[in-house]
Amino acid sequence: MKEYGRFLWRCFRLSFVGDWRYYSWMLLLTVVALFGLNAYANQFVHGLITTGMTDQVSWGLYISNFTYLVGMAAAAVMLVIPVYIYKNKDLHDLVIFGELFAVASIIMCMLFVTVDLGRPDRFLHLMRLNLPTSMLAWDVIVLNGYLFLNLHICGYLIFCSYKRRKPTRKFYIPFVFIAIVWAISIHTVTAFLLVGIGGRPFWNNPIIVPRFIASAFSAGPAFIILTLQVIRRSSSYKVTDEALGLLRTIVTIALTINQFLLISELFTELYANTAHSISLQYLLFGLGDKNDLVGWIWPAMIFNTIALVLLYIPRSTTMMRTNVACVLLIVGIWIEKGMGLIIPAFVPTPIGEVVEYTPTGNEILITLGIWATGLLIYTIFVRITIPVLSGELTYDRVYRTEEEVLPDPISHPKGE
């Protein structure tokens, strides 16, 4: 326990040390997070009136980001399955970065739920779990369960690497396989939370569940591809082209399935032209002069289509084409699973009112602040993980950055 405390203390101090790029990035995220905190303080004082949500549209930008990040968290399983099921060696040393991102994503999910409640004391009502009938109660359970599973797996493996000892399989392998099933469950349960609301025909569609998972398994690995390239360029940690190529294949397959399901949904709803398709018509074409979401959804579909075409073009010698595709699909799916999924279900209302929703500046600042907080946490995770996994930071070795910048890094001399 004493050694584990020393490990945490060294990691904490190391998170404050880096080059100018690290300091600049952390400063930017900190400033944005503080602006977001100030905006939340304003919301806390004045209430949800500071948002663009109304009685007619009771979910907005916060829940849109929540649903998107649930998928990003679940995407870590697309690194876990090749490593632990198919014994892929290329991703073996990189899977932990996906799990760390899952931890940061779940933390952001919790923060978005917190700000959406308006007041923290409403958590008391939320925690009155009405099992087994309440899907919201199940969502709370699976999200917290997935968070603790990934914290245990990552923490144990990183500490074993720090201690230069081989991990005991029985202490983490069972949890890895549980996490695989759990990752799918967190997205499935969140989708069921929407699909089970019969009064919202736009959500009451069984195709939403597989689309949820397919979009998650494309956007999540796409973000990991970009992250791994930053790690490769800014550190000595080895990230192979084979690993990036495998992730690119996963993204291509998942995005193909997502686009196919999208076409199927559009045909089913628009060709039949039933009363249930009115929300989709509002999303795609608007209803009269009410067309705020049209400018969101069409760029999203165009971005995803361009990304899919770029991914199917044979890979060139550089990663530029893949990077452009990853950025486009991350933005496209964020719009598609956020504003394009949550808001249209409330327009029109069950009694026919057409009330549009536009995020306020305060909402946008809070949202940016939560994203900055999540990226700040993930950056710190990556910063302390790379030296440990590469063997530069161990219990009996002074890491060069500690030696140069931090006083008394460990209680015994170097090389002892």
pLDDT the model gives residue 399: 62
Residue (of 205, 372, 360) closest to 279 by Cα position: 205
Does pTM top 0.85 for this prediction?
yes
pLDDT at 40: 95
Q: Token pair 């690290």 is at which residue?
A: 22
Q: What is the pLDDT of the chain when averaged over all its residues?
A: 86
| CATH number reported for the structural domain that contains residue 214 in this entry | 1.20.1630.10
What is the pLDDT at residue 317? 47
Q: Which pLDDT value is given to residue 34?
A: 97
Q: Examine residue 331 and state whether it is found in any structural domain, yes or no.
A: yes
State the average pLDDT over residues 151-161.
90
Calpha distance 257→311 (Å, rounded) = 13
Roughly what angle, to the nearest 10 degrees, separates helices 208-234 and 361-389?
60
In degrees rounded to 5, what are phi and psi of residue 293? Answer: -85, -10
Give pLDDT tens digits for 354-386. 889 999 999 999 999 999 999 999 999 999 999
Digit-coded pLDDT (tens) for 52-63: 999 889 899 999
Banded model confidence at residue 413, pLDDT cuts 50, 70, 90: very low
- 165 domain residue, yes or no: yes
CA angle 316, 319, 325 (to 5 degrees): 100
Position 108 scores a pLDDT of 94
> Does residue 351 carry a pLDDT above 90?
no
Question: Partners of 290 in the beta sheet?
Answer: 287
* Whether residue 215 has pLDDT greater than 80: yes
The pLDDT of residue 348: 87
78 band by pLDDT with thresholds 50, 70 and 90: confident
Residue 96 domain flag: yes
Q: How confident is the model at residue 25 (pLDDT cuts 50, 70, 90)?
A: very high
- Predicted confidence band at 273 (pLDDT cuts at 50, 70, 90)? confident
Three-state helix/strand/coil letters over the chain: CHHHHHHHHHHHHHCCCCCHHHHHHHHHHHHHHHHHHHHHHHHHHHCHHHCCCCCCCCCCHHHHHHHHHHHHHHCCHHHHHHHHCCCCCCCCCCHHHHHHHHHHHHHHHHHHHHHHHCCHHHHHHHCCCCCCCCHHHHHHHHHHHHHHHHHHHHHHHHHHHHCCCCCCHHHCHHHHHHHHHHHHHHHHHHHHHHHCCCCCCCCCCCCHHHHHHHHHHHHHHHHHHHHHHHHHHHCCCCCCHHHHHHHHHHHHHHHHHHHHHHHHHHHHHHHHCCHHHHHHHHHHHCECCECCCHHHHHHHHHHHHHHHHHHHCCCCCCCHHHHHHHHHHHHHHHHHHCCCCCHHHHCCCCCCCCCCCCCCHHHHHHHHHHHHHHHHHHHHHHHHHHHHHCCCCECCECCHHHHHHCCCCCCCCCCC
Q: Band the pLDDT of 414: cuts 50, 70, 90.
A: very low
Over 50: is that where the pLDDT of 71 sits? yes
Question: Could you tell me which residue, 115 or 138, shows the higher pLDDT?
Answer: 115
- Structural domain harbouring 158: 2-405
Separation of alpha carbons 385 and 379, rounded Å: 10
pLDDT reported for residue 251: 92
Residue 410 covered by a domain = no
Which stretch, 140-144, 249-253, 316-320, 407-411, has highest mean pLDDT? 249-253
Residue with tokens 């992730």: 247
Q: For residue 164, is it within any domain?
A: yes
What's residue 315's pLDDT?
60
Region 309-334: mean pLDDT is 85
Note the pLDDT of residue 416. 40
pLDDT score at 270: 85
406-410: long-range pairs with CB below 8 Å, 24+ = 406/13, 406/14, 406/17, 409/10, 409/13, 410/6, 410/10
The per-residue pLDDT for 402 is 52
In this prediction, residue 411 carries a pLDDT of 47
Q: Which residue would you say has higher pLDDT here, 308 or 398?
A: 308
Q: How confident is the model at residue 23 (pLDDT cuts 50, 70, 90)?
A: very high
- 287 — phi, psi (to 5°)? -120, 100
Indicate the pLDDT class of residue 106, thresholds 50, 70 and 90: very high
121, part of any domain: yes
pLDDT in tens, 161-179: 888 888 888 888 899 989 8
Q: According to the per-residue pLDDT averaged within each range, which of 182-196, 241-255, 310-324, 392-406 is highest?
A: 241-255
Q: CA-to-CA distance for 102 and 220, rounded, in angstroms?
A: 9
Count Cβ atoms below 10 Å from residue 365 Cβ, excluding itself.
19
| pLDDT (0 to 100) of residue 408 | 47
pLDDT at 119: 78
Whether the predicted pLDDT of 327 surpasses 50: yes
Count: domains in the chain: 1
Q: pLDDT > 90: what percent of the chain?
A: 36
So what's the pLDDT on residue 4?
Answer: 81
Q: What is the mean pLDDT of residues 198-226?
A: 87
